[in-house]
Amino acid sequence: MAFIGNTPTTQAFTPAVDYFSGNGSTTAFTLSRPVASVAQVQVVIDNVAQNPSSAYTVSSNTITFTSAPLSGTNNIYVYYTSPITDVIAPGQGTVNTNSVVSSISLTTPTLVTPNITTGLTLTGSAGTVGQVLTSQGSGAAPTWTTLPYTVEYLIVAGGGGGGVNSAGGGGAGGYRSSVSGESSGGGLSAEAPLSLVSGTSYTVTVGAGGSGGTGATTQGQAASGVSGSNSVFSSVTSIGGGGAGSSAGAAASGGSGGGASGSPATGAAGTTGQGYKGGDTPNGGGSGGGASAVGGSGTASFPTGGTIGAGGAGVASSITGSSVTRGGGGGASGDSRGTVAGAGGAGGGGGGSAVAGTNGTSGTANTGGGGGGAAFGTPQGNGGSGGSGVVILRYLGSQRGTGGTVTSSGGYTIHTFNSSSTYTA
């Protein structure tokens, strides 16, 4: 007769007794047949029945006593009370119609064909890290889609140039930041970070600093500074700093406004979220605005003496791992007759000159600092040029994109662009 499971031989029960001799130290003894439970044997030592719940345990062919039986010859016996309990599972694919009784029939299973539209092809042979397989709907071929990743940025525009002849200082380049916990320009909080798509190329534009005023050759001639150029990455644009004013022309607005020149005159406006206005003046020049402060004002005692306030201060950022201040306004020019020039604002602003024939100091490169104004007198100097801007990106984890100078700090990968280029995400 066909059967499934244990053979009749395995299921049969033949009474048996195992005898062992104790030695006072041995606790484990080998049984002649496997058992699965202490309920399948009765154990006697020195004619005393043993408690199965505490005196011993069994595991297959081994019986282990809680304490070693005393010495004696065949003073231990184990009486089997149930059949062998081996479980025999039929091997995969070994059960067929010949293995079962005739009243049982086996049928071939029906395979269900998945409902897949034919003629579709997968775009691309394989995905890459960061991609997921997506569908555009019924009948459309599935495609690999790249998930975006988050990037924090600091984007500073070029600073404005300083003027000539009792002129103002250049305004700092616009300052925009999305670094968590830091400030953007103009006193605002950090902006939202960007989401970039892997494999996409993004143009990086680093704004040049505006040139300082030039061409004035004799005392009394004047020239205004030129505004800086914008810095751009993705959807974010920082506005170039405003050029400084002079008697030849008013100060220009920008990321931060250029300092005024006149009797009296008002500094030019900055851009909301990027910088402050330039300094005013009752007579002479005002210093350029900075990313975090209004430019210093001129002095009412010009031209007989006094001190002009410094260019507006910039903003400090640790996006690269070290704290660096950028976006300082340029200082206004002084006068050889006693007016002290304005100092450059913290963050790369160039100081103004107070000696005839000397140039205003240029803003520091890649800070967006404004240029300093040149003094009244003969010969005439030139206004300082604005400092160029910078674009810095960072994201958590190992390097994913290419472009710029790549460094790492605090678990971030950092890309610094000191000149225009391309970032490939």
Q: How far is CA 368 from the centre of its chain?
A: 25
| Beta-strand pair 339-340/306-307 | parallel
The gap from C-alpha 42 to its chain's centroid, in whole angstroms, comes to 70
pLDDT (tens digit per residue) in 355-382: 888 999 999 999 999 999 998 777 788 9
Arithmetic mean of pLDDT, 331-348: 86
| Bridge pairing between strands 201-205 and 261-262 | unpaired
Q: Please tell me whether the peptide bond between 379 and the residue prior to it is cis, using omega within 30 degrees of 0.
A: yes
Give the Cα separation of 168 and 264 in Å (integer): 12
Residue 333 corresponds to which amino acid? S
Structural domain boundaries of the chain?
15-80, 144-425
Q: Minimal CA–CA distance to 225: which of 375, 374, 25? A: 374
Section 68-84 average pLDDT: 86
Please give the share of the chain, as a percent, with pLDDT higher than 70. 79
pLDDT per residue over 311-332, tens digit each?
A: 999 999 999 999 999 999 999 9
Q: How many Å apart are CA 68 and CA 25, to the nearest integer? A: 5
What is the rounded distance in angstroms from the CA atom of residue 289 to the CA atom of residue 106? 90
pLDDT at 348 over 90: yes
Average pLDDT over residues 185-203: 96
Q: For residues 268-281, give the mean pLDDT.
A: 96
Q: How far apart are CA 97 and CA 74, in angstroms?
A: 51
**Cα R_g (the chain), whole angstroms:** 44
Instruction: Give the C-alpha separation, 389 to 348, whole Å.
Output: 11
Q: Is the pLDDT of residue 106 over 60?
A: no
Mean of per-residue pLDDT scores for the chain: 85
- Distance (Å, whole) CA 423 – CA 203: 6
- Look at strands 56-65 and 143-146 and give their pairing: unpaired
Alpha carbon distance, N-terminus to C-terminus of the chain: 72
Helix (H), strand (E) at residue 10: helix 8-11
Give Cα 401 to chain centroid, integer Å: 12
DSSP 82: S
Residue 146: CB atoms within 10 A of its CB come to: 17
> CA-to-CA distance for 226 and 326, rounded, in angstroms?
19
217 pLDDT more than 50: yes
Is 80 exceeded by the pLDDT of residue 173? yes
- 27-44 pLDDT, tens digit per residue, is 999 998 898 888 889 999
CB 242 within 8 A of CB 261: no
- Pairing type for strands 143-146 and 131-134 reads antiparallel
Alpha carbon distance 402, 415 (integer Å): 8
The Cα 33–Cα 17 span in angstroms is 10
Task: Give me the residues paired with residue 376 across strands.
Answer: 335
